[in-house]
Amino acid sequence: MGATLGVWLAAALTLCIYSFLYKDNPFYKFAESLYVGISAGYWLVYTYAYVIEPMLIEPIKTNQEFVLIIPAFFGIIMLSRWFPKIAWLSRWSIAFTVGIGAGLGVTGYIQGFLIPQVKATILPLTGMNMLTLNNLIIIIGVITTLVYFYFSKEHKGMLKVGSRIGVTFIMIAFGASFGYTVMARISLLIGRFYFLIYDWIVPIFSKG
Amino acid sequence: MNDIIKKLTAIDRRYLFIIIALVVVIPLLFKPKFPIIPKKPVIDAYKAVDSLSAGDNVMISVDYDAASMPELQPFLEALLRHCFKKELNPIMLVQWQLGAPLGTRAMEKIAKEFDVEYGVDYINLGYRPGYTAQIVGIGKEIRDYFITDYKGDLIDSFSVMDDIHNYDDIDILVGLEAGATGNIWVQYAGARYNQRIILALTAVSAPDAYFFYQSGQIEGLVGGMKGSADYETLIDHPDVAVAGMAAQSFVHILIIVFIILGNIAYFFEKRNKGKTLGGK
Amino acid sequence: MIKGKGIPLTITFLTGVIIIVTFFIPHSPFGEFEQTALRWYSIIAGFTMLLGVDSLLRSHIKKFRKKDNNWEYSIVVFIAFAVIVTTGIIATVRTGNAFNTDTSFMYIYNHMIIPLQSTMFSLLAFFIASAAYRAFRARNTDATLLLITAIIVMLGRVPISDRFIPAVPALTEWIMSVPQMAAKRGIIIGIALGAIGVSLRIILGIERSYLS
């Protein structure tokens, strides 16, 4: 019973959202506000279930890691607008997280992106075959795209030619991304219609 | 001709919406069959999982939510089927808070199809915040983040976690990505800890992962619902993604027709404008 | 003094430098420090979601008090928020964790959050299709190239092409792994260089906008 009611509820909310396609209306606004309220409540509940409980209470209880009270304090003072007198303390939390992020960023981008990606572009150009041609296209594509985004010097002469070729590659990449984006959105639509047909409508008739 | 063009350009978009809805619904109802031919990046992902031996650990990261569910949930289910069939141990964790229950949902559903036991053959660790720090931190000790599983039970009470401490104990990592978290897996788990990685991404993110695939930083790439359909086909268990492919085919053709019609109208409009200007 | 930017800048500098040093010298005591710092980072990050809840609720309280446009819907937000938090608390007390399946909290997730969120995003399919009809014009060579690529990729990624025009899926695979990949790699190398620069500027205290 609960499951059937749930499917009807989900179907009704789905239709409320789709009613926006006709025009903005109270059903859509209701569903939208419901989504906002529920999501905010969900954030609060998971912050307890997946942050406070397992990362603070449990380690303190199991391993007596009382030192974790310090990050908990800095986590709470991020919400310093609740306590204007110590609002300046929130900068300490921000500084700490930004410092970690920047430190990880330097090594992560060099080791994870820069070196492997540059290395993977140094490709062999031996023999007259399809592989060589593809490798050549990759090398030219990477270099000319970088040239296009190089703004420190006016694009004249060779730079202009390079940047023009770069734009061609970029257009192909954007076209591919656009095609893929269409594909993604359509898949979401298929997912919702699949639900409406096979989880909601078909069971009504098969039961009847 | 001009009148037709004018009418075409002025058409109320709600008519377009109805056409789109029909082109989705009709194939879903009549289920015309097209051959699903898996592509190389997905075949490579399949092979990487298929080459593992019974008892190997597969870390699965659920980094998406309901907004990408139709694209990635079918892959998650197919992957879990593949893992359980091969007696691998899926270790699930989540980086997108709103997606946590989706992982649980798939795991419980697929586990029921096989003779597997929670905590012995698989485990669901749930969500933890601060994904970059967490992904680096797991390189040292997973317990520093996951002292308990998704239900709050201590992970040391489950035998599947006995020998799992960091990436050295994970045979392959599969990230299901709706955003940039996949980059972080590659940047840190992959580059720093040499973790073997497969990424399954929404179609929006998939084009941005091809350079990782070409550089060998990821071993396989599953893109969008089509990638999920490919994987379902490879494990010989066609499911919802395969079912959606006919509708996907027809809507793509419809959109291409829209683009062509729109451009024909644009072409005529431009020509007419040229004529008027020329006449003056 | 204590309330100024000096202490935060020092904290950023020290944590940033230690994280970088640990990368090269992962041994004691750096390794332990890094792991502790990373855990602290995650805990602090975990609290930031509360900031979102706080500002969202405040904005709706304001709207409600001022009786702004559509203020009635703020009541829906409050009720929805209160209901899910209550079910979360009840589920936690009863089963130990709200995320246990079969709790009322998960019922709301399954039958309300999933349909609302996924339908909201699927609306974009209609708008992208309508935009395809109205806005995607081959105005010049670059736009034409973009459109042609998009059409090939859209055709090449669906099984109907495998059946009737198998050359298109093969061409799509080539586009994705050669020219498309090359351009995206060029972009990512540029982004990586930029990100490294910004990270270093932050650690050295040159970039301070995050403290303002």
Taking only the tens place, the pLDDT of each residue in A144-202 is: 999 998 888 887 888 889 999 999 999 999 999 999 999 999 999 999 999 999 999 99
Q: State CA B188 to chain mean position distance.
A: 21
Question: Which residue's structure tokens are 């299901």?
Answer: B176
Describe the strand order of the beta sheet including B123-127 as a list of residue ranges.
Answer: B123-127, B89-94, B57-63, B172-177, B197-201, B220-223
Q: Shortest CB distance from A172 goes to which of C113, C122, C180?
A: C180
Interface of A with C in 78-97 (CB under 8 A): 78-79, 81-82, 88, 91-97
Confidence category of residue A206, pLDDT binned at 50, 70, 90: confident
pLDDT at position B280: 43
- Residues in chain B with CB shorter than 8 Å from the CB of C173 are 39-40
pLDDT digits 0-9 by tens, A68-106: 999 999 898 887 767 777 778 888 899 999 999 999 999
Instruction: Please tell me if residue B71 touches chain A, with a CB cutoff of 8 Å.
Output: yes
Name which of C133, C163, C180 is nearest B16 (Cβ-Cβ). C133
Task: Categorize the per-residue pLDDT at C12 as very low, low, confident or very high, splitting at 50, 70 and 90.
Answer: very high
Would you state the pLDDT for residue A207?
A: 65
Structure tokens at A187: 């898949």
3-state secondary structure of C55: helix
What is the model's pLDDT at position C1? 66
Establish whether this prediction's ipTM goes over 0.85.
Answer: yes
Q: What band does A208 get if pLDDT is binned at 50, 70 and 90?
A: low
Search chain A and give the residue with CA nearest B12.
A22
Which of C129, C154, C157 minimises the CB distance to B16? C129
B128, B207, B249 member nearest C184 (Cβ) = B207
Work out the pLDDT band at C54, boundaries 50, 70, 90: confident
Q: Using an 8 Å Cβ cutoff, are C125 and A186 in contact?
A: yes
For residue C109, the chain B residue with the least C-alpha distance is B101
Any chain B CB within 8 A of the CB of C181? yes
pLDDT 10s digit of each residue in chain B, 280 long? 677 777 777 788 889 999 999 999 999 999 998 899 999 999 999 999 999 999 999 999 999 999 999 999 999 999 999 999 999 999 999 999 999 999 999 999 999 999 999 999 999 999 999 999 999 999 999 999 999 999 999 999 999 999 999 999 999 999 999 999 999 999 999 999 999 999 999 999 999 999 999 999 999 999 999 999 999 999 999 999 999 999 999 999 999 999 999 999 888 888 887 777 654 4
Binding partners of C (≥3 Cβ pairs within 8 A):
A, B
Choice between C208 and B4, residue whose per-residue pLDDT is larger: C208
- On whether the CB atoms of residues C36 and C15 are closer than 8 A, the answer is no
pLDDT, tens digit (0-9, with 9 covering 90-100), for C103-154: 999 999 999 999 999 999 999 999 999 998 888 888 899 999 999 999 999 9
Report d(CA B25, CA B41) in Å as an integer.
30
Decide if C96 and B151 are in contact by the 8 Å CB cutoff. Answer: yes
Give tens-digit pLDDT for A36-58. Answer: 999 999 999 999 999 999 999 99
Calpha distance B242→B44 (Å, rounded): 19
Of A59, A104, A176, the CB nearest to B147: A59
Beta carbons of A95 and C9 less than 8 Å apart: yes
Q: Reply yes or no on whether the pLDDT at C211 is more than 90.
A: no
Q: How far is CA C15 from the centre of its chain?
A: 25
Cβ contact (<8 Å) for B24 and A193?
yes
Pick among B20, B202, B211 to test the C interface (most C CBs inside 10 A) = B211
The reported pTM is 0.95
The per-residue pLDDT for B84 is 98
Q: Does C110 touch chain A (CB under 8 A)?
A: yes
Report CB contact under 8 Å: C12, A102: yes
Of C46, C113, C147, the CB nearest to B259: C147
Which of C40, C100, C133 should one mutate to test binding to chain A, selecting the residue with the greatest count of A CBs within 10 A? C40
Supply the pLDDT for residue A1. Answer: 66
* Chain B CB within 8 Å of residue C93 CB: no
Residue B182 in tokens: 């996949």
* Three-state SS sequence of chain A: CHHHHHHHHHHHHHHHHHHHHCCCCHHHHHHHHHHHHHHHHHHHHHHHHHHHHHHHHHHHHHHCCHHHHHHHHHHHHCCHHHCHHHHHHHHHHHHHHHHHHHHHHHHHHHHHHHHHHHHCCCCCCCCCCHHHHHHHHHHHHHHHHHHHCCCCCCCCCHHHHHHHHHHHHHHHHHHHHHHHHHHHHHHHHHHHHHHHHHHHHHHHHHHC
pLDDT for res A81: 64
Q: Residue A97: closest CA among chain C residues belongs to which residue?
A: C41
CB contact under 8 A, C99 and B100: yes
Q: Mutation test of the interface with chain C: which of A189, A194, A197, choosing the one with the most C Cβ atoms within 10 A? A: A189
Tell which C residues from 120 to 149 touch A, by Cβ distance under 8 Å: 120-126, 128-129, 132, 142-143, 145-149
- C89 contacts on A by Cβ (under 8 Å): 45
Mutation target vs A (from B28, B154, B181; most A CBs, 10 A cutoff) = B28
pLDDT for res C138: 87
Query: If 0-12 CB within 10 Å is exposed, 13-18 middle and 19+ buried, where does residue C154 land?
Result: buried
Mean pLDDT over all residues of chain C?
Answer: 92
pLDDT at C38: 95
Give the residue, C32 or B219, on which the prediction is more confident: B219
